[in-house]
Amino acid sequence: MKKKILRIATRKSPLALEQTKYVKKKILSLYPNLNIKLVPIVTHGDNILNKSLSKISGKGLFIKELEFALLENRADIAIHSMKDLPVHITKELCLVSICKRGNPLDSLVSNNYKTINQLPKGAIIGTSSLRRQCQLITYRPDLIVSPLRGNIETRIAKLDSGQYDAIILATEGLNRLSLKHRISQIIPAELSLPSCGQGAIGIQSRLHDKKILFHLSRLNHFNTYAEINAERAFCKTLEAGCQIPIGSYAILKKNKIWLRGLVGSPDGNTILKGERIGWYYNGEEMGYSLANELLSNGARKILDNMYIQKIKL
């Protein structure tokens, strides 16, 4: 890769640019003579801020334009938040590497309350994530969940203007933007199971670019890859996206993976949970198995009902 130019497609949001800078630094640490050019792109999802992701086309809205840049040879790799990358990847493309994961948990951000338990009855909580919504309503049905879209800075600005009593954001996003001081509470997974891939950065490229695949595979973090592979297998079996309240979270320790999965109804009336523990090389199989267990225990009905509701929108 000596004296070569590597073009990196990225969203223009502050968080996406920070993530891309992180990957750029990692690449240059391995290939210091590489000339890296950023290709900032505004995605369709960045432009639609007046609707919940569950009411449009889901997470794919944040990556399609980046994938087109790869397919049209306007970029060589694309940087994604793994939680935004659909489980079904365009066939001409592939996931080259997943960088070491940061904190995968959700965080409560509030100016007046330190924890979810301290929030008063009727407090307004901002989030457009059905996953967060269903778990929060189940735990605190007395709270009011209100839609919240926009980048992290925009969401915090809405909180500061008094539109919300608290908002829920991804912890690692706050960390990357040097906003750790805004975190009131890192919410435990038992209360808010994270989204598949949350806290990790993925690198996508074209399947036929063998040199790029070879060189950038060195950025792959084994533990993170094994964890997210199990999480994505769970979600893939459920055909899950933003339209479904679903969480999956795997932890690899001492060669064993602990995988937890969740499927819920948006109103929080029904939440199905399960887990698996096994050797890391069985992570994908564990994901499939756990998803099928939840489907048999009622998740199929939840998914069917949500599909019908989507058609009616």
Radius of gyration over every alpha carbon of the chain, rounded to an integer in angstroms = 19
CA distance 203 to 250: 20
Catalytic residue among 76, 84, 165, 209: 84
Q: Which residues pair with 144 in a beta bridge?
A: 124
**Nearest-angstrom CA–CA distance, 15 and 25:** 15
Catalytic status, residue 267: no
The residue length of the chain stands at 313
3-state SS, residue 72: coil
- Give me the residue label for tokens 């993925």: 202
Residue 122 structure tokens? 């009727």
Instruction: Beginning with the edge strand found earlier in the chain, give each strand of the sheet holding 271-279 in spatial order.
Output: 246-253, 256-264, 271-279
DSSP 3-state of 209: coil
Closest CA to 168 of 216, 240, 113: 113
309 contacts: CB under 8 Å, gap ≥ 6: none
- Cα three-residue angle 59-278-253, rounded to 5 degrees: 80
Catalytic residues: 84
